[in-house]
Structure 1
């Protein structure tokens, strides 16, 4: 019996099949079958009932699942705590949203390459909903998402918050005076897709303030959303520091809306069971290299509205290492793609 055999057995059980485990382990299905057969021979018992179309765990197999997970977790702990970081190796499948990808992701990947030269990073840029599904199915080891993601068995490490502000092109003619949600009825609203956390946040905000949209155009790319706003096609709620240079250049203007909306906090999310040795390590590295502001600390788009000038980006600050186990939820921000206008 070897750790590799137990590791393969664990992933067959976790992903529900030999083919899925083979894909996850970057090997062939025949290699997975051989490891399971060798494990069964070494134990002298059948772990899977192969009399049916799909292999199912026997009673002995069910008993082994928890023990196998504990052994893998212990091996992970030893490797992480005792081993030399320079010799850590393997593949980390990291999922991020588009906004993370265009801000501090390059700095994070550079830090991973420097600190763990034998680690290979597989990047996946997608919508938060899709990233969460991949994380739950075992297709991702770690995801950087707006949240927290309140699901059983997941750990959330705070990476800071993003401050958003209402913006529009000056040529749209939106008044610079203080506005309410009802005042936005006169202009089209540009926002992220309906299943995004931001879209739901705005919907709740308008509903609580007895306001309605005249027209809503949705898009699943925050970059395209900003381009549409600059073109004068509507008002939108954008991360103000990221587009501060557009305000300074006069292509966008900050709108003074009240009441204010909360910031969007981002988290590195991974499984608490820790069968992937690098997930927590990369999460802590992401915490140090994130350029998002400290959670709960507002950096002043309202002041920028008065000054009409861009502020320099805040340098990354040391984040308090905080891991929170949450239960049940599904937020989302953005991802790559094209825009669409829903039927009126």
Structure 2
């Protein structure tokens, strides 16, 4: 089975550019053209139209696309099944957002292992874009991420929220924050937009960081003002590295679980999702409702 023909076809459906697909796959443009020609010859149908305005799938190409995705996932499943055969336990590959690898991560691992004791787990910290790509191709079985990239093959579920708050080594109030020593947060695709709405005068800061651990290390080494995860504040204030800026509004980031649609209802994935719901349940607890005026609680 020449799976590279399917991979090239699906990538070209996404990029609509032979040059871009060649760059992403690490091959030459002539190789991409050759693979598409070979696939078209095997199917007996033209799959793409090329013009000055770009590359577009033909009607036959659009009809073939969902079947190509199915072929790719079938191949991935077959490789996993063969690789996990024998006496070794099945391996579940899980991607997790860098900022979620914290003190509570071990609790999540323990819950996974308790729920699936005969399963081996491979965890990899990564960023959302790569995890979504790996879910699509079947390289990962589950992802815990900040920024879903919606795709027909992927299913996302909201788990909860994490909170980022502003701390500083040099000031005590928001009005005193200096752009020259401010570090912009870029922990997800959504946070820069939320931050710009809250602090339009700080968006021109010259330094930006995309990982909480790096932000904490930078504050310790060179000082300044920045947003960090709420879970990091206790350590930063305990050793008097930073102080909390109480009048700066917090920024919340939604946490999502992502799986491939083909795996969503499998028993293993249902157990993993159940563990994640329990783990993040604290972030979804509603506030107690106040009784209406004149009504006893």
Instruction: Classify the TM-score, shorter chain.
Output: 0.5 to 0.7
Check 1:276–1:103 CA distance in 2 against 1; reply closer, same or farther (3 A cut): farther
Which structure: greater helix fraction?
A: 2
2: CA distance, partners of 1:110 / 1:226: 27
CA contact (8 A) 1:162 1:292 kept: no
Q: CA deviation at 1:198?
A: 2.6
1: CA distance, partners of 2:252 / 2:216: 18
Q: How many pairs does the alignment contain? A: 231
Once the two structures are superposed, the pairs formed by residues 1-344 of structure 1 within 5 Å of their partners are 15=7, 54-55=38-39, 58=43, 90-147=90-147, 149-169=149-169, 172=170, 174-176=171-173, 179-180=174-175, 183-193=176-186, 196-207=189-200, 211-213=201-203, 215-258=205-248, 260-274=249-263, 277=266, 278-290=268-280, 293-294=283-284
The residue number in structure 1 matching 2:22 is none
1: CA distance, partners of 2:114 / 2:8: 36
TM-score, normalization by structure 2 = 0.61
Q: CA deviation at 1:280?
A: 3.3
Deviation per CA, 1:281-322: give whole Å up to 9, x if none.
31221221237622776xxxxxxxxxxxxxxxxxxxxxxxxx
Deviation per CA, 1:90-110: give whole Å up to 9, x if none.
322111112212233322222
Deviation per CA, 1:314-333: give whole Å up to 9, x if none.
xxxxxxxxxxxxxxxxxxxx
CA contact (8 A) 2:5 2:39 kept: no
Helix, strand or coil: the match of 2:232? coil
2: CA distance, partners of 1:107 / 1:144: 15
The residue number in structure 1 matching 2:80 is none
CA contact (8 A) 1:159 1:266 kept: yes
2: CA distance, partners of 1:195 / 1:52: 35
Q: CA deviation at 1:188?
A: 1.7
2: CA distance, partners of 1:237 / 1:266: 17
TM-score, normalization by structure 1 = 0.54
The residue number in structure 2 matching 1:338 is none
Greater relative contact order (Cα < 8 A, sep 6+): 1
Deviation per CA, 1:246-283: give whole Å up to 9, x if none.
2234222110335x344111011112232783333312
Q: CA deviation at 1:153?
A: 4.0
RMSD between superposed Cα atoms in Å = 4.1
Deviation per CA, 1:77-132: give whole Å up to 9, x if none.
xxxxxxxxxxxx63221111122122333222222222212222221211222222
